[in-house]
Structure 1
Amino acid sequence: MVVEGTSTDRFEPVRASLAAHLEAGEELGASIAVDVDGVMEVDLWGGYADAARTVPWQRDTLVSLWSTTKTLTSLAALVLVDRGALDLHRPVAHYWPEFAAQGKEHIEVRHVLTHTSGLSGWEQPFSVEDLYDWPTASARLAAQAPWWEPGSASGYHVQTQGQLVGELVRRVSGLSLKEFVATEVAEPLQADVQIGARRADWPRIADLVAPAQLGGMPTELDPEGVFTRTLLGSPARDEHVDTPQWRSAELGAVNGHSNARGLARALSVISRRGRANGSRLLSEKTVDKVFEAQTDGVDLFLGVPVRWGMGYALSDPRTMPHMPPGRICFWVGRGGSIVMMDLERRVTFSYTMNRVGDGILGSERTHSYLRHVYEVLERTSCGVPAGLAVGSDAPGSR
């Protein structure tokens, strides 16, 4: 199985791992990128963009990201924090007065960024058509009561976080989340990332191929528990992805579209302390805020320990065993996609795929690639890249 793109000599194990997963049929199509202080040392892709294996995965193939989308939405919020337009410790209702209903007047901006607001799903009934309608989805969240004491614990906001943060972006910037990410993140960083997908880009979107069953489900569900209420109150499902309605919608928690290169280029602004591709998007002080842990315990929805910083999970061997301790933040998407930002090594690692894998925080493939990346980094210096392996593109090219 041919793996295209480029990688420096030291990252040959990453190329070999992708080739092996493709050859075994565990991957259908995928892309992997590793940016080291602005140099794209790994920019690889291979396999197929469709389930029938008739369309090869190309350099500019995009795929729906599921929850890895949240890394872009959180970045949008941080840009506004950096500009002084958004205060992490101010009540959400300061910017969105209707949100104060049902005792939510004290919920702060940081609570929606760290999944601790108590609004991890929509009260029933709530359909995917409601989700696609921005005013309806926002009004319903503003009107409902939290499901637990805000700030006391995290309960992963599977599909609500994009709405909550996106509404704040709209209120303080005057732009929709989709517009803000396009003009204030993607454009200055020259990153191929977007919320939803422009119609002109639909032909380059890979099919997302889901498993027959959703893995990791508890055997017994408490109908009044946070897990059940969140699951039922998060109406987007696998069958909605790759439809015109999905691609046209603005779902800041789940329907971002990109590839590994695009994600690495966008999120390297955190790994590189606020500056990437010639643009300073964040101050170092704002980047430091990402690593202010807000909660550390078993997440009420995910059922595993998660250390939440501002908008991103923080490195934790309990949940990501191949990720070392230190100033590292990340998040994953359903099926295995990931973007990880390591400030100490100035490394950004990203992986996207179209065959959905199993696992709560990343699939076996995700952890395999992550392990190879850190084995390489442990053996070699993160400074000057090793010699460039034969490939089709220069490592720093778009």
Structure 2
Amino acid sequence: MKAQGMCAKPFEAVKQAFEDMFDDPQERGAGLCVQVGGEMVVDLWAGMADQEGTRPWTRDTLANTFCVVKPYVAVAVLMLVEEGKLELDAPVARYWPEFAQNGKAKVTLRQVMNHTAGLPALRAPDHNAMMYDWEHMLRVLEAEPLWWEPGTDLGYGTTTFGWILGELIRRVDGRDPCAFIHEKILDPHDLDVHLGVDEKHFHRIARFDSAIGRVGDPYSQALRTVLKSEPAHIATFAFTNPGMVPRRTSDPRWWAYRQPAVCGHGTAHGLAGFYSALLAGNFIGRELLSEFTREHSHGMDRVWMRPMRYGLGCMLEQQVDPTASHAMGPDTFGHIGLGGPISFADPERHVSFGFVTTTSGSHTMIDPRPGLLSSLVYAAL
């Protein structure tokens, strides 16, 4: 399938690989953007935005990005740290006193951001019915006991990350966290990323679905087995209570959902543009950017059930695990989303990368599709 858009000559192999993705008849639609030093070198899209194959993908098609947006709320928090409104090593309860219940008084903002807080998941009962009610979910978090002593173990805060950081933004700034991110980060740089899509943009949203036969790497297969067979496992609670699943993405409530760590919709150029702006010195100063991207935690993550490295709200390069590598430099940082979307930056080469898709695979880290594309980008630099 021929891709639309532009591709600088040194990156022709990237374009070819992007077009070759669509040799698989299950592949519906996707977008890819690469920027080097803030300059667009690849901006491609192809396929269809609906499951019936009647609506062509365009440059402004919005794709579900799931957790790709976690670094956005992390950077928003760091902006407030820079303003002196938050402190990384202060207890969350300093700003949100009700959070201190059930042993959480000593949990720090830094521990939440590096996924060592001991609150990666919510236990039973089932919270899916109330997940769209922000105030209700805050009460649940306030009452939730820790899974372990803060700072002693590693577990990805799938949904809890967004509620905790979002509420801290609201408490010290007064704005809804997604409004803060739009007003301070997205809108000033014309980034086509939406944390809660306005109804007037609903027609731009591509339909998301799973592909058959893409089983994923061994870590992904082991995690999927646990999710299907162990209802009381911490990973099962983290990913299903409430659940961030493909079937939810056809629901207009999900499109409009304002949860700043699990629900984003965007274009590939919007995602890449965020990292280009960040590397160019926007949002936070050099000192906090270094703090954001340095390793704060690593080890076997109890939720992902695989080795992970984290900064303060971003995932760091995993060169020891080829199925989790960005295929670029050792200081690469960014974030993946369920089913294939990803965005990241290589600060050494000033590269920003964004990939969106509506065809969900089963890899829990970097999907082979963007993994191949990023390796070809790296080879062309």
TM-score interval for Structure 1 and Structure 2 normalised by the shorter chain:
over 0.9
Q: Deviations over 1:120-173 (max 9, x none)?
A: 122211332311000011111111111122212221111221111111111111
Unaligned runs of 5+ in 1: 275-279, 378-398
Answer yes or no: is the 8 Å Cα contact 1:51–1:207 preserved in 2: yes
Q: Is the 8 A contact 2:328 2:374 kept in 1?
A: no
Q: Residue in 2 aligned with 1:256?
A: 264
Say whether the 8 Å CA contact 1:86–1:172 is kept in structure 2: yes
Structure 1 counterpart of 2:371, from 367, 370, 380: 367
- 1:21 matched to 2:21: yes
Deviations 1:305-364 (Å, cap 9, x if unpaired)? 111111101112133345344322111001111111111111111101111112110222
Q: CA deviation at 1:67?
A: 1.3
Percent sequence identity over matched residues?
32
Counterpart CA distance in 1 for 2:341 and 2:256 is 21
Give 1:1-398 correspondences, 5 Å limit.
1-211=1-211, 216=221, 217-219=223-225, 221-222=229-230, 224-272=232-280, 274=281, 280-319=282-321, 320-377=324-381
The one-letter code matched in structure 1 to 2:10 is R
Partners of 2:317 and 2:325 within 8 A in 1 = no
Query: 2:234 is matched by which residue type in structure 1?
Result: V
Amino acid in structure 2 at the alignment position of 1:77: V
Distance 1:375 1:8 in 2: 14
Which secondary structure state, in structure 2, belongs to the residue aligned with residue 42 of structure 1?
Answer: strand
The match for 2:218 is none
Give RMSD over aligned pairs.
Answer: 1.8
Q: 3-state DSSP class of the match of 1:40?
A: strand
Q: Distance in 1 between matches of 2:48 and 2:78?
A: 35
Which residue is equivalent to 1:386?
Answer: none
**For residues 117 and 214 of structure 1, what CA distance do their matches in structure 2 show?**
33
SS in structure 2 of the partner of residue 6 of structure 1 = strand
The answer as to whether partners of 1:181 and 1:194 remain within 8 angstroms in 2 is: no
Q: SS at the partner of 2:118?
A: coil
Conserved 8 A contact 2:329-2:346: no
Deviation at 1:83, TM superposition (A): 2.2
TM, length-normalised to structure 1: 0.88
Query: How far apart are the structure 2 equivalents of 1:322 and 1:263?
Result: 15
The 2-side partners of 1:20 and 1:211 are apart by 17
**8 Å contact kept, 1:295–1:308:** yes
- For 1:385, the equivalent position in structure 2 comes to none
User: In structure 1, what is the Cα distance between the partners aligned to 2:325 and 2:104?
Assistant: 37
Distance, in Å, in 2 between the alignment partners of 1:358 and 1:39 is: 32
Unaligned runs of 5+ in 2: 216-220
Equivalent residue for 1:383?
none
CA contact (8 A) 1:317 1:324 kept: no
Q: Give the whole-Å Cα distance in 2 for the aligned partners of 1:300 and 1:293.
A: 18
2:273 counterpart letter in structure 1: R
* Alignment check: 8 A CA contact 1:153 1:295 kept: no
Superposed displacement of residue 223, structure 1: 5.0
User: Shift of the alpha carbon at 1:14?
Assistant: 1.1
User: Does the 8 A contact of 1:336 with 1:363 survive in 2?
Assistant: yes
1:49–1:55: 8 Å Cα contact kept in structure 2?
Answer: yes
Residue 132 of structure 1 aligns to a residue whose secondary structure is: coil
> Shift of the alpha carbon at 1:374?
1.2
Tell me the alpha carbon deviations over residues 202-231 of structure 1, each in whole angstroms, 9 at most, x when there is no partner. 000100112469953454555554223323
Q: 1:286: Cα distance to partner?
A: 1.1
- Normalised to the residue count of structure 2, the TM-score between the two structures is 0.92
The residue type equivalent to 1:289 in the other structure is E
